[in-house]
Amino acid sequence: MSIQSLPFRVLLYYKYVTIEDPILECEKHRELCESLGLKGRILFAHEGINGTVSGTIEATDAYIKHMHSDLRFTDMWFKVDEEDQHVFRKLFVRPKKELVTFRLEKDVNPLEKTGTYLKPKEWRKMMDDPNAVIIDARTDYEWDLGHFEGAIRPPVDSFKDFPKWVRDNLAALKDKKVMTYCTGGIRCEKFSAFLLQEGFQDVYQLHGGIVTYGKDPEVKGDKFEGMCYVFDERVSVPVNHTEQAQLVSHCVICGTPTDWYVNCANFDCHRQHFQCPDCVERTQCSCSPACQESPRHEYKEPYAQKFMAYKRVPRRNQSAAEK
């Protein structure tokens, strides 16, 4: 089956724009998405919308048309992937205080101030600048699956931890060219604005994020190492489409390169870890011998029946070469 014939699409999108009543928007939006058969996660806040959904080509076309007919979202950019089925199990539409949880003492508004946008070719060129530093604006576990060559790994597991980490560790970089990136761009809008607020002088962001960089026909994802973490059942998607593409993550059991990111099936652990398909089967998705022996294990009774239908591994787990 060619990629053009895949019957489903995944849409990734956001827009910073004033939303007067996020709760009302959620109610209307939930009704819209249910009528179209869309699944995914959509957040509304007073500062805008942040969403990712999957659905048929007809449904996603109708959704995009509907959103672009709204004056608030006429120019909203949809990043599109094609798939063979839904990549979400359910639909969640929720109001939030922030589109991405930052919890700054003094909030930043990307509509007023944000880092300079770089297109994929501009980003790739600046990567070679000796005065530039690259900061990953995602979490440590996302970096571990894949990242840009030379990018600083943030030792945080939540976006709200970035301000303290920056203040404690990055003051010496304020005179550098600071390049920031994230999955689709929404976190960098805020993160780059925060850096400017903190006194960083020359701040840039990858416009459209990693997913856009990987689709550029000229750059082809060059200098991105590993895979890109996504928050749906695919878990990982390819970025680098050059001959240098390779995995950077390895199975915690046998050391084999793998992009299978799974949660330990021991209820008292649930550690997210890399594990190859063979070891997943052999250890019953356990991250250690101790976890495999635990009586509170999803693959053991009385829990096994409940979790029998639930896949512990991502739906798509091809190697980098297959992707």
* 104 in any annotated domain: no
What is the per-residue burial (b if ≥16 Cβ within 10 Å, else e) of 20-53? Answer: eebeebbeebbebbeebebbbbbbbbebbbbbbb
pLDDT tens profile 32-89: 999 999 999 999 999 999 999 999 999 999 999 999 999 999 999 999 999 999 999 9
Look at residue 303 in the predicted model and tell me its pLDDT. 79
Query: What residue numbers bound the domain in which 35 lies?
Result: 3-95
Give the pLDDT confidence score for residue 301 in this predicted structure. Answer: 85
Query: Does the pLDDT value for residue 117 go beyond 70?
Result: yes
Q: Which of 64, 95, 126 is the last residue in one of the domains?
A: 95
Read off the CATH number of the domain in which 72 is found. Answer: 3.30.70.100
Does 302 have pLDDT greater than 90? no
- The count of domains in the chain is 3
Place of tokens 């749906």: 232
pLDDT (mean) for 233-256:
96
Percentage above 90 pLDDT, the chain: 90
Is residue 224 a contact partner of residue 239, using CB atoms and an 8 Å limit?
yes
Evaluate whether 259 touches 249 at the Cβ level (below 8 Å): yes
Both 195 and 143 in one domain: the answer is yes
Model confidence, pTM? 0.91
Active-site annotation holds for 182: yes
In a domain, 244, yes or no: no
Q: Is residue 102 part of a domain?
A: no
**pLDDT at 108 > cutoff 60:** yes
pLDDT of 202 strictly over 70: yes
Q: Is residue 257 part of a domain?
A: yes
For 76-99, write each residue's pLDDT tens digit.
999 999 999 999 999 999 999 999
Per the domain annotation, does 233 fall within a domain? no
Catalytic residue of the set 26, 33, 182, 291: 182
Which of 236, 186, 180, 223 shows the shortest CA–CA distance to 208? Answer: 186
The amino acid at residue 57 is I
Integer Cα distance of 193 and 113 in angstroms: 6
pLDDT at res. 280: 93
Query: What is the predicted pLDDT for the residue at 322?
Result: 31
Per-residue pLDDT tens over the stretch 118-159: 999 999 999 999 999 999 999 999 999 999 999 999 999 999
pLDDT score recorded for residue 308: 57
Confidence of residue 319 (pLDDT cuts 50, 70, 90): very low
Is residue 55 situated within a structural domain? yes
Between vectors from CA 168 to CA 123 and to CA 228, what angle results, nearest 5°? 35
Same domain, 137 and 75: no
**Any domain includes 239:** no
pLDDT number for residue 134: 98
d(CA 104, CA 160): 8
Query: Mean of the per-residue pLDDT values for the chain?
Result: 93
Is 82 part of a structural domain of the chain?
yes
Confidence bin at 307 (pLDDT 50/70/90): low
